[in-house]
Amino acid sequence: MLKLGVNIDHVATLREARYRGRERGEPDPVEAALICEAAGAHGITAHLREDRRHIQDRDVWKLREVIKTRLNLEMANTPEIVAIALKLEPGIVCLVPERRQEITTEGGLDVARQWLALRDTRQRLNDAGIDVSLFIAPDPVQVEAAARVGSQFVELHTGAFAEHFNRKRERQEELDRLLAAAQQAHAAGLRVNAGHGLNYQNLGVLFQVPHLVELNIGHSIISRSITVGLATAVREMLVLLEAYLA
């Protein structure tokens, strides 16, 4: 069964727009996470950025305390955030690139250039009992490097696929890249997740990609929740995931 991890960053983004620098405010991403779990989500994803633009330290500690599924902590490979992850002990860490000027994560890790540093971090996290995923573009060089790092998962960046979705030729090119990357990763012993830009409209085409374990989806679900409520938005996405045949 294809799993759904709900990214709650944009709940925190809305809170910080009004309550930045305060100890509490609304909406509460932790409350949102519990609603997602109750609606059937298989995990909760939160990105603790270096600049703390949305998710705050108190959020991840409270999430670790209260959620009953799996906490997926997205993070950059920096000493401060790695130290937090080692203390927090989430179920899984997804290492992502981070650029201060970007609105959201715009690309995958350049694992091929950073594989030694990533391997060291991966080992430290694994030694603490934390699974590691690497957020990468569907590129054969990056998949091979991820296998060299020894991560348990890769998360394939689906942003280009989503951006080109309404242009048939470009969409097929991106889909072919995802197909090849998933097959390569699976053959290398890596488990395959995917995320970025996924929504209620493009999932049916993405489902041609084999070996997917989990999709991490945030913006689309949070946007949909404004009109139908968060629990309904999660349940609607779960119904779509039922059509996936690995």
Q: What is the structure's pLDDT at 99?
A: 66
Q: What is the structure's pLDDT at 245?
A: 87
Distance CA 34, CA 164 (A): 33
Phi, psi of 91 (to 5 degrees): -65, -35
**Which of these is catalytic: 74, 98, 155, 214?**
74
Collect the ranges in the chain with pLDDT lower than 70: 99-106, 246
| 117-131 per-position pLDDT tens digit | 999 999 999 999 999
Buried b (16+ CB within 10 A) or exposed e, 79-93: eebbebbeebebbbb
Distance CA 209, CA 222 (A): 25
Residue 225 tokens, joined: 């929740």
- Which CATH number describes the domain made up of 3-241? 3.20.20.70
Q: What is the structure's pLDDT at 102?
A: 47
Active site annotation includes 196:
yes
Active site annotation includes 74:
yes
**Which of these is catalytic: 42, 47, 54, 186?**
47
End-to-end CA distance of the chain: 8
**Which of these is catalytic: 10, 98, 196, 214?**
196
Q: Please tell me the pTM assigned to this model.
A: 0.94
Which letter does DSSP use for residue 216 in this model?
A: E
DSSP output for 160-198: HHHHTTTSHHHHHHHHHHHHHHHHHHHHTT-EEEEESS-
Residue 152 tokens, joined: 């348990």
Active site annotation includes 170:
no
